[in-house]
């Protein structure tokens, strides 16, 4: 059997020859000829001229030949409607055939012939077949109703086929039920308001019964249909969930995903305190992870869906970070999606692992992937505050590689980190400036210019740097031009004397020589501001910027809800509502998650997006501004040039652009949204730099000035002050939200041998607070207040008071976890509030902690090796001398120093307030920023805390 | 639903084209060829949207299968269907190649007509398809009425995967526990991630409509049985590897999925695996475990850069299983930089070769017993380059095959009941085999 020969006929006069063969008397020859015709049809040759000859072959009892002729008919009937009618008789006759396979074949094929005249003849046979005794015929007829509806919807309604189809939902055969459900669902989609499916508890019950018995495909149809149902109450919802969960173990991933869809939707209705709710959450994780061992294409679909699921219910997969680690051989589309999910799942608990992975990825070969990995490091920094420092140093390492696109990407994300943590990491600016010349991408150039403008007062040659960009002003992209304009104006406001010429130059470039209305308008606004009232200009341009939020690229909540209802489908792959890519009436209906019964919560903030543009669902890839940002952005809107950035054109433009870029994935969509929506949409992190630079916020008048002064002071302090004990920065221990308006932040310090708890109490409530008192829970080192909390005057609204509380170490002792945890209760006239905080163990290092050399040596030997623990301190750039001095400030005493092969070994001792000795060996190698430290102690549990102190002291 | 299905060869020539929906025009065939097959860039997504038409594609060797739609279809279903389509074709005519497809194009059209109706997947079980669609043309011309209705009831029936009236003189079944163990290890030997994905493949030659029950050392079951004091099942019909080891240890299965013949609701409620098996070979279940995995090999890499033009690599592998067992087909793949000019290798065991075309040193060992170790050292000469970009150091990967299940899974029993025919569980001859293979088994260096 070598049918391939049919593909090779290419000579001329072929059609003519075929015609002769088709009319041959011999059956075999006829069949051969039809095969040749089909082969030609497949490769795209037009063989419609043979229509009458092929149709003539239809009258045959050879089933194979018949099928081939039918195939031909389906393709060409439309182009030859008059002749197609010749075939009707055979169809009608076949529908009466004793063989069910032939009856089904006839009705199946007839439905595919889209010729009006033929459809008329189809009705009677179809009616019979819908009631055929054979289930195979019935299941085929059920689909045929959908076919007919596609051709002539009115006819289907007039002939009452819809009712017959509804009856088939109660059929005894599961496959008939499944196909009837599929057909009805499809028909219902084009009649959004009809109650065609008429889902009620009875019909749902029938569907759930059929679910257990039908084929994998049938299960998908039924589950997809179930997802459209809204249970009446949480009871019904739970009972459906219980009957759907077994599907999570099906081998077919589509069955699993459709089941997940039903569960995710119905879960909304369950009360969260229900036991079953928790059980269900737990049941969802394993099947989702299993989807990742499917073939790559399915993995991709699964990952796109998981991306939605982790946004909606992060708790499901929060412990499954590792399965999203990228494998070397994953296809690139799987890698990119995994990376996205990794960032979404990143938390304080797993950040170290995530960062190690991301660093690994940043050295891969695929440019897009590497870029995304670099971006991800930045996003981690913004999301998990504790990791920010490590992220920044990783980014600096990457910048050192000098790989062009890595450097550019790193600079873009560092800009966001600066915004999120002002006045913390600006020391790296010098390194960034070194790479100025290698930046050739607009986004990176714009980011760098923003940095230079924002920190102009700290960069000596800021004016030179910006001037160098100005030379090619007209060749830059709009993004860069706008940024340059703003940066130079900022520079001028900070250093007015030297930069007058520069600012005039840029203003004239922007207003006179440019035909970009955005740029021109921004230029004029600055110009007028500067010329009328420089003080006001300062307030406006250098206003405090709103903080950027952690979650920058979450899908807007209403869209997310809709997409959750479309799990498993194309919409969930594109992350767009069906209306964005489906033509015609289908899919226009927006699906919604059901509201939780009984409670008023329901859908979460449904209208945030609408407030911004009025067309939220279309703005698919845009970013959710938090409430506060939204306010700022609306204000911004009034002042921003109104010409091109009106909301309506930007959203529609975005949508169209989005369609063409579909292949490019989310990233390209995000890029797209920036120039268009940037200023209005307020993309907090990624785009924020550009959007927010000229942001006009009604901020407090003295904020920028005060901030600047503070910075200067800080800077001086860092350099000139003598080494003292390390005092960690103040952190908020008790947020006002949790304590009826009382906010407590603070830190610990050791001053002249006394441990002090330094508290800042702020009253953010409306009423006066009095009668403060403080109490500690038992803790590892017996810390207790040595006196009462000295708040003598009542604390008025918006007032802040700083208090220093001396502590003793003679209180009751109880081992805490972590060791340095302290539980505190604060009382005032309103209530008692509890919080816990951690103190650096260095507070407990006493002044007489210097051990005798001999004693040290003996003790070191005496402590068993099991008690030794080793740690790495990374990225410390002090030499051993400086390190030793610094540590001494915190009562860590260097006893001896030895130099072996360029490596300095420092031996140190520490004594804790409760008499525990800790011995340390610190290895410092010149030029290597990574120190190794070995700690020995009879109570090895303190080692971890001591190490943390080393790290904190050395790095500050 | 699926609007059309196309099969192309590597050049983008159409081999099969079947359109199910009116909204898919002929130009869709060309759109996919131009935008995906002939695209200059690497494929960035298995789903492509071109002019509001979505294309789903999979590749089998150099054959492209593409499903087309204009609607919001169930994407997971479309891919599952494409894979199924490949399975069905492969079971009819073997490898999916251009030649085989051309040779069987009539058959493929028939299949496409049967398993996809108006874009809705229908019964796609090869077992039942083969009862009425064959390579010799279609059966059914000369069948009796009973035969015909038997076919249709099977195709649409509850047990679509098995036909009635199967008879064997010898009732026999073969169970293969096939596992692939996956590992990602840091250079320091820390396990970054490890999991086993396993499959239980069964070949059954059983008469009638037998009811089967499958049991393994699933922790949940064993714990349950332990509490209730139920021991009847583990004892006699023991199939555990070696016979004496089962019953002691149990394993925690993270998740498992089953062939559609398994009654899922029963598994959900009682965690028992009961089913009427298809005839012949099929995959009964898949499972995944992450706890207490036996990692059969440990790879210890040592890479040292000696100046700019030389690299010293030493890799030690250690086998970590019973000394009486033998691992086979061991292959260690050590990646080399792109600018490698020459390699000298010394290995204690097996053969090692530098393959320039693959940028790797490939070290093969035929057999290795448990609790042994072996090492290879290589000196890699590099050409000086001014390429700024550092070599990405791909991980060292390993392949092997071991005669045990790295997850620790043991088959406890497989019972067969057939009430209508007179053969009992004892009359069935049962064979069990365990094979552990490497999945992605990588150690970073």
pLDDT digits over B274-289, tens only? 999 988 888 999 999 9
pLDDT at residue A628 greater than cutoff 70: no
What confidence score (pLDDT) does residue A904 get? 83
Option in A67, A135, A363 nearest B113 (CB): A67
What confidence score (pLDDT) does residue A550 get? 64
Per the CB < 8 A criterion, the answer to whether A382 and A416 are in contact is yes
- Binned at pLDDT 50, 70 and 90, residue A475 comes out as confident
**Residue B10: phi, psi to the nearest 5?**
-65, -25
- Binned at pLDDT 50, 70 and 90, residue A324 comes out as very high
Option in B46, B57, B137 nearest A64 (CB): B137
A67-72 mean pLDDT: 87
Region of poorest pLDDT, from A471-475, B20-24, B96-100, B144-148: B144-148
User: Which tokens is A30 given?
Assistant: 């006829």
Pair type for strands B172-185 and B429-443: parallel
- Which segment, A565-579, A653-667, B226-240, is predicted with the most confidence on average? A565-579
**Contacts of residue A56, Cβ cutoff 8 Å, sequence gap at least 6:** A22, A23
- Which segment, A275-279, B228-232, B235-239, is predicted with the most confidence on average? A275-279
Cα distances from B386 to residues A365, A398, A439, in angstroms, run: 17, 19, 20
What confidence score (pLDDT) does residue A625 get? 37
DSSP A584: S
pLDDT digits over A346-384, tens only? 998 899 889 989 988 988 888 889 999 999 999 899 888
Q: Can you give A479-511 as a three-state secondary structure string?
A: HHHHHHHHHHHHHHHHCCCCCHHHHHHHHHHHH
User: Which tokens is B272 given?
Assistant: 């028992």
pLDDT at residue A426 greater than cutoff 90: no
pLDDT at residue B406 greater than cutoff 90: yes
What confidence score (pLDDT) does residue A85 get? 82
What confidence score (pLDDT) does residue A12 get? 61
- Which segment, A63-77, B72-86, B156-170, is predicted with the most confidence on average? B72-86
What confidence score (pLDDT) does residue B247 get? 41
**Contacts of residue B364, Cβ cutoff 8 Å, sequence gap at least 6:** B330, B331, B350, B351, B352
**Residue A68: phi, psi to the nearest 5?**
-65, -40
- Binned at pLDDT 50, 70 and 90, residue A292 comes out as very high
- Dihedral sign from CA coordinates of A571, A577, A579, A581: negative
pLDDT at residue B4 greater than cutoff 80: yes
What confidence score (pLDDT) does residue B241 get? 40
* Residue B44 at interface with chain A, using a CB cutoff of 8 Å: yes
How distant is the Cα of A291 from the closest Cα of chain B, in angstroms?
Answer: 10
What confidence score (pLDDT) does residue A693 get? 37
What confidence score (pLDDT) does residue B125 get? 86
How distant is the Cα of B434 from the closest Cα of chain A, in angstroms?
Answer: 21
| Contacts with A, B 46-75, CB within 8 Å | 46-49, 52, 54, 56-58, 69-75
For the stretch B174-196, what's the b/e string if a residue is b when 16 or more beta carbons lie within 10 angstroms of its beta carbon?
ebbbbbbbbbbbebeeeebbbbb
DSSP labels, B59-125: EETTEEEEEEESS--BHHHHHHHHHHHHHHHHHHHSS--HHHHHHTHHHHHHHHHHHEETTEE----
- Binned at pLDDT 50, 70 and 90, residue B326 comes out as very high
Distance in angstroms (rounded) separating the CA atoms of residues B360 and B215:
43
Per the CB < 8 A criterion, the answer to whether A652 and A663 are in contact is no
Over pLDDT 70: what percentage of chain A? 84
Radius of gyration of chain B (CA): 26
Option in A99, A186, A215 nearest B160 (CB): A215
What confidence score (pLDDT) does residue A898 get? 81
DSSP A798: T
- Binned at pLDDT 50, 70 and 90, residue A11 comes out as low
B87-112 mean pLDDT: 92
- Binned at pLDDT 50, 70 and 90, residue B388 comes out as low
DSSP labels, A354-392: HHHHHHHHTTSS-HHHHHHHHHHHHHHHHH-GGGHHHHH
A449-468 mean pLDDT: 87
- Binned at pLDDT 50, 70 and 90, residue A596 comes out as low
* Residue B152 at interface with chain A, using a CB cutoff of 8 Å: yes
Q: Tell me which chain B residues have a C-beta less than 8 angstroms from the C-beta of A659.
A: 49, 52
What confidence score (pLDDT) does residue A714 get? 38
A851-862 mean pLDDT: 81
Q: Annotation-wise, does B219 bind a ligand? A: no
pLDDT at residue B231 greater than cutoff 60: no
pLDDT digits over B61-83, tens only? 899 999 999 999 999 999 999 99
For the stretch A261-271, what's the b/e string if a residue is b when 16 or more beta carbons lie within 10 angstroms of its beta carbon?
bbbbbbbbbbe
Quick check: B148 and A99 CB within 8 A?
Answer: yes
> Which own/partner pairs from A850-855 qualify as long-range (CB within 8 Å, at least 24 positions apart)?
A850/A893, A850/A895, A850/A909, A851/A893, A851/A895, A851/A909, A851/A911, A851/A917, A851/A919, A853/A895, A853/A896
* Residue B245 at interface with chain A, using a CB cutoff of 8 Å: no
Per the CB < 8 A criterion, the answer to whether B75 and A568 are in contact is yes
Q: Tell me which chain A residues have a C-beta less than 8 angstroms from the C-beta of B394.
A: 328
Region of poorest pLDDT, from A95-109, A244-258, A689-703: A689-703
Distance in angstroms (rounded) separating the CA atoms of residues A373 and A366:
11
Per the CB < 8 A criterion, the answer to whether A351 and A384 are in contact is yes
* Among A141, A164, A144, CA closest to A152: A144
| Contacts with A, B 375-394, CB within 8 Å | 388-390, 392-394
Option in A143, A213, A664 nearest B117 (CB): A143
Distance in angstroms (rounded) separating the CA atoms of residues A293 and A297:
11
A451-456 mean pLDDT: 88
Option in B15, B23, B79 nearest A297 (CB): B79
Quick check: A569 and B22 CB within 8 A?
Answer: no
> Which own/partner pairs from A167-174 qualify as long-range (CB within 8 Å, at least 24 positions apart)?
A168/A130, A168/A138, A168/A142, A169/A203, A169/A206, A169/A207, A170/A206, A171/A135, A171/A138, A172/A135, A173/A135, A173/A138, A173/A139, A173/B156, A173/B157, A174/A210, A174/A213, A174/A214, A174/A215, A174/A218, A174/B158
Residue holding tokens 């003189």? B169
Cα angle A649, A655, A661 (rounded to 5 degrees) comes to 135
* Among A809, A760, A792, A690, CA closest to A445: A690
- Which segment, A83-87, A637-641, A820-824, B143-147, is predicted with the most confidence on average? A820-824
- Regarding predicted confidence, which is higher, A706 or A575? A575
Per the CB < 8 A criterion, the answer to whether A880 and A904 are in contact is yes
Over pLDDT 90: what percentage of chain A? 23
Option in B48, B73, B74 nearest A663 (CB): B48
Option in A140, A254, A297 nearest B77 (CB): A254
pLDDT at residue A295 greater than cutoff 90: yes
Q: Where are the extended beta strands (E) located within B91-233?
A: 116-117, 120-121, 133-134, 137-138, 172-185, 191-205, 211-216
* Residue B187 at interface with chain A, using a CB cutoff of 8 Å: no
Quick check: A290 and B257 CB within 8 A?
Answer: yes
Task: Give residue A583's Cα distance to chain centre.
Answer: 28
Per the CB < 8 A criterion, the answer to whether B71 and B87 are in contact is no
- Regarding predicted confidence, which is higher, A597 or A154? A154
Distance in angstroms (rounded) separating the CA atoms of residues A44 and A54:
17
pLDDT digits over A905-926, tens only? 888 888 888 888 888 888 888 7
Distance in angstroms (rounded) separating the CA atoms of residues A589 and A150:
18
What confidence score (pLDDT) does residue A718 get? 36
- Binned at pLDDT 50, 70 and 90, residue B401 comes out as very high
- Binned at pLDDT 50, 70 and 90, residue B159 comes out as confident
What confidence score (pLDDT) does residue B235 get? 39
pLDDT digits over A782-803, tens only? 888 888 888 877 888 888 888 8
- Regarding predicted confidence, which is higher, A390 or A879? A390
* Helix/strand/coil percent split, chain A, to 5: 60, 10, 30
pLDDT at residue A454 greater than cutoff 60: yes
Average pLDDT taken over every residue of chain A: 80
What confidence score (pLDDT) does residue A360 get? 87
Per the CB < 8 A criterion, the answer to whether A449 and A479 are in contact is no
Per the CB < 8 A criterion, the answer to whether A341 and A310 are in contact is yes
| Contacts with A, B 103-132, CB within 8 Å | 103-106, 109-110, 113, 117-118, 120-125, 132
Q: Tell me which chain B residues have a C-beta less than 8 angstroms from the C-beta of A36.
A: none
A580-588 mean pLDDT: 70
**Residue among B75, B161, B268, B443 with most chain A CBs within 10 A, to mutate:** B75
Distance in angstroms (rounded) separating the CA atoms of residues B256 and B265:
14
Q: Crossing angle for the helix pair B105-115 and A63-76, nearest 10 degrees? A: 70
Pair type for strands B340-347 and B373-382: antiparallel
* Among A364, A367, A369, A420, CA closest to A392: A420
Distance in angstroms (rounded) separating the CA atoms of residues A564 and A242:
20
Minimum Cα–Cα distance from A296: chain B residue: B46
What confidence score (pLDDT) does residue A860 get? 82
- Regarding predicted confidence, which is higher, A936 or B229? A936
ipTM of the complex: 0.80
Quick check: A108 and B113 CB within 8 A?
Answer: yes
What confidence score (pLDDT) does residue B243 get? 36
pLDDT at residue B97 greater than cutoff 90: yes
What confidence score (pLDDT) does residue A704 get? 39
What confidence score (pLDDT) does residue A262 get? 95
DSSP A457: G
User: Which tokens is B355 given?
Assistant: 């393959």
Quick check: A217 and B81 CB within 8 A?
Answer: yes
* Residue B27 at interface with chain A, using a CB cutoff of 8 Å: no
Quick check: B264 and A662 CB within 8 A?
Answer: no
Distance in angstroms (rounded) separating the CA atoms of residues B184 and B394:
12
pLDDT at residue A269 greater than cutoff 70: yes
Quick check: B110 and A586 CB within 8 A?
Answer: no
């Amino acid at each position: 059997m070598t049918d391939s020969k049919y593909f090779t006929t290419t000579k001329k006069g072929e059609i003519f020859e075929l015609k002769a063969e088709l009319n041959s008397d011999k059956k075999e020859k006829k069949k051969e000829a039809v095969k040749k015709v089909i082969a030609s049809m497949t490769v795209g040759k037009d063989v419609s001229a043979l229509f009458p000859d092929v149709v003539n072959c239809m009258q045959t009892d050879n089933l194979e030949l018949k099928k081939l002729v039918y195939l031909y008919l389906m393709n060409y009937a439309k182009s030859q409607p008059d002749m197609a009618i010749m075939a009707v008789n055979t169809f009608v006759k076949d529908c009466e055939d004793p063989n069910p396979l032939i009856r089904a074949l006839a009705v199946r094929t007839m439905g595919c012939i889209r010729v009006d005249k033929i459809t008329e003849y189809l009705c009677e046979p179809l009616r019979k077949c819908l009631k055929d005794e054979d289930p195979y015929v019935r299941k085929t007829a059920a689909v045929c109703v959908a076919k007919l509806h596609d051709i002539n919807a009115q006819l289907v309604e007039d002939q009452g086929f819809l009712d017959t189809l509804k009856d088939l939902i109660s059929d005894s055969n599961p496959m008939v039920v499944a196909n009837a459900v599929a057909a009805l669902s499809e028909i219902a989609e084009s009649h959004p308001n009809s109650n065609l499916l008429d889902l009620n508890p009875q019909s749902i019950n029938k569907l759930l019964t059929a679910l257990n018995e039908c084929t994998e495909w049938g299960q998908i149809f039924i589950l997809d249909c179930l997802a459209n149902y809204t249970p009446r109450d949480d009871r019904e919802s739970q009972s459906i969930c219980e009957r759907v969960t077994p599907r999570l173990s099906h081998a077919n991933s589509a069955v699993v995903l459709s089941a997940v869809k039903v569960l995710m939707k119905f879960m909304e209705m369950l009360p969260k305190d229900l036991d079953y709710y928790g059980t269900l959450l737990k049941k969802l994780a394993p099947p989702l992870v299993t989807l990742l061992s499917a073939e790559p294409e399915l993995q991709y679909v699964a990952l796109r869906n998981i991306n939605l699921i982790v946004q909606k219910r992060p708790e499901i997969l929060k412990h499954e970070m590792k399965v999203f680690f990228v494998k070397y051989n994953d296809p690139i589309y799987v890698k990119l999606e995994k990376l996205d999910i990794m960032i979404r799942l990143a938390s304080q608990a797993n950040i170290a692992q995530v960062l190690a992975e991301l660093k690994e990825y940043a050295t891969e070969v695929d440019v897009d992937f590497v870029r995304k990995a670099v971006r991800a490091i930045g996003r981690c920094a913004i999301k998990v505050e504790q990791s920010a420092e490590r992220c920044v140093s990783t980014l600096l390492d990457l910048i050192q590689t000098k790989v062009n696109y890595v450097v550019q990407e790193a600079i873009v994300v560092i800009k966001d980190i600066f915004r999120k943590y002002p006045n913390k990491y600006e020391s790296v600016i010098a390194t960034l400036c070194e790479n100025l010349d290698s930046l050739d991408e607009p986004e990176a150039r714009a980011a760098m210019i923003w940095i230079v403008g924002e920190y102009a007062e700290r960069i000596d040659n800021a004016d030179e740097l910006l001037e160098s960009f100005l030379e090619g002003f007209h060749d830059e992209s709009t993004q860069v031009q706008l940024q340059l304009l703003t940066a130079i104006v900022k520079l001028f406001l900070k250093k007015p004397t030297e930069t007058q010429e520069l600012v005039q130059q840029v203003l004239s470039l922007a207003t006179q020589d440019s035909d970009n209305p955005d740029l021109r308008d921004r230029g004029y606004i600055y110009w007028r501001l500067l010329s009328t009232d420089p003080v006001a200009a300062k307030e406006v341009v250098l206003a405090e910027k709103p903080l950027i939020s952690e979650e920058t690229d979450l899908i807007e909540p209403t869209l997310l809800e809709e997409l959750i209802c479309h799990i498993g489908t194309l919409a969930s792959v594109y992350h767009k509502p069906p209306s964005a890519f489906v033509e015609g009436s289908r899919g226009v209906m927006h699906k919604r998650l059901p509201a939780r019964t009984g409670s008023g919560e329901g859908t979460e903030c449904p209208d945030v997006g609408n407030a911004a543009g009025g067309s939220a669902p279309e703005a698919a890839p845009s970013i959710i501004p938090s409430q506060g940002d939204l306010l700022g952005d609306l204000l911004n809107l009034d002042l921003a040039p109104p010409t091109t950035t009106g909301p309506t054109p930007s959203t529609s433009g975005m949508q169209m652009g989005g369609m063409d870029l579909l292949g490019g994935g989310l990233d390209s969509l995000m890029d797209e949204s920036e120039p268009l929506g940037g200023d209005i949409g307020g993309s907090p992190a990624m785009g924020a730099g550009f959007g927010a630079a000229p942001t006009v916020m009604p901020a407090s008048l003295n904020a920028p000035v005060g901030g600047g002064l503070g910075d200067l002071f800080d800077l001086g302090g860092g350099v000139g002050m003598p080494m003292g004990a390390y005092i960690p920065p103040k952190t908020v221990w008790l947020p006002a939200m949790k304590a009826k308006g009382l906010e407590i932040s603070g830190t610990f310090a050791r001053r002249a041998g006394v441990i002090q708890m330094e508290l800042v109490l702020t009253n953010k409530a409306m009423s006066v607070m009095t009668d403060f008192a403080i109490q500690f829970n038992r803790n590892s080192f017996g810390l207790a207040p040595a006196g009462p909390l000295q708040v003598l005057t009542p604390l008025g609204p918006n007032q802040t008071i700083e208090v220093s509380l001396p502590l003793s170490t003679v209180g009751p002792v109880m081992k805490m976890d972590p060791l340095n945890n302290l539980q505190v209760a604060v009382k005032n006239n309103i209530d008692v509030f509890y919080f816990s905080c951690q103190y650096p163990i260095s507070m407990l290092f006493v002044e007489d902690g210097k051990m005798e050399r001999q004693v040290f040596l003996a003790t070191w030997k005496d402590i068993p090796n099991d008690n030794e623990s080793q740690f790495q301190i990374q990225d410390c750039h002090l030499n051993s001398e400086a390190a030793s001095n610094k540590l001494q400030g915190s009562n860590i005493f260097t006893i001896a120093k030895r130099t072996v092969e360029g490596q300095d070994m420092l031996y140190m001792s520490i004594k804790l307030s409760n008499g525990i000795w800790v011995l340390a060996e610190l290895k410092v190698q010149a030029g290597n920023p990574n120190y190794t430290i070995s700690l020995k102690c009879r109570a090895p549990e303190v080692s971890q805390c001591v190490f943390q102190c080393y790290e904190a002291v050395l790095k500050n | 639903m699926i609007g059309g299905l196309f099969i192309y060869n590597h050049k983008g020539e159409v081999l099969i084209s079947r359109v199910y929906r009116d909204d898919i025009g002929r130009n869709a065939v060309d759109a996919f060829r131009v935008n995906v097959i002939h695209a200059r860039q690497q494929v960035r997504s298995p789903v492509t949207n071109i002019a509001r038409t979505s294309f789903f594609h999979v590749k089998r060797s150099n054959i492209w299968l593409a499903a087309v739609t204009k609607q919001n279809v169930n994407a997971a279903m479309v891919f599952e269907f494409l894979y199924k389509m490949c399975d069905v074709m492969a079971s009819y005519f073997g490898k999916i190649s251009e030649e085989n497809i051309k040779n069987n194009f009539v058959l493929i059209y028939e299949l496409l007509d049967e398993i996809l109706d108006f874009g809705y997947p229908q019964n796609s079980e090869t077992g039942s398809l083969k009862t009425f669609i064959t390579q010799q043309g279609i059966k059914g011309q000369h069948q009796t009425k009973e035969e015909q209705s038997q076919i249709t009831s099977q195709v649409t029936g509850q047990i679509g995967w098995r036909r009635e009236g199967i008879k064997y003189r010898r009732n026999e079944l073969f169970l293969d526990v096939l596992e692939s163990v996956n590992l990602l290890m840091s250079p320091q030997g820390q396990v970054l991630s490890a999991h086993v994905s396993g499959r239980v493949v069964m070949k059954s030659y059983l008469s009638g409509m037998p009811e089967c029950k499958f049991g393994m050392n699933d922790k949940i079951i064993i714990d349950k049985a332990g509490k209730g004091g139920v021991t009847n099942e583990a004892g006699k019909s023991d199939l555990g590897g070696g016979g004496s080891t089962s019953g002691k240890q149990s394993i925690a299965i993270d998740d498992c999925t089953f062939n559609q013949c398994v009654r899922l609701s029963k598994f959900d409620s009682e965690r028992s695996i009961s089913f009427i098996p298809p005839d012949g070979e099929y995959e009964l279940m898949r499972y995944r475990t992450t706890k207490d995995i036996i990692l059969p090999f440990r790879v210890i890499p040592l890479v040292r850069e000696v100046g700019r033009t030389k690299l010293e690599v030493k890799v030690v592998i250690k086998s970590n299983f019973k000394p009486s067992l033998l691992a086979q087909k061991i292959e260690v793949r050590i990646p080399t930089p792109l600018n490698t000019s020459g390699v000298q290798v010394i290995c204690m065991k097996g053969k090692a070769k530098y393959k320039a075309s693959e940028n790797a040193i490939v070290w093969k060992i035929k057999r290795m017993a448990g609790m042994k170790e072996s090492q290879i050292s290589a000196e890699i000469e590099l050409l000086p380059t001014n390429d700024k970009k550092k070599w990405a150091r791909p991980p060292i990967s390993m392949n092997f095959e071991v005669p045990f299940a790295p997850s620790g899974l043991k088959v406890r029993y497989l019972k067969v009941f057939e009430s209508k025919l007179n053969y009992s569980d004892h009359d069935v001859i049962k064979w069990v085999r365990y094979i552990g293979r490497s999945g992605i088994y990588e150690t970073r260096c």
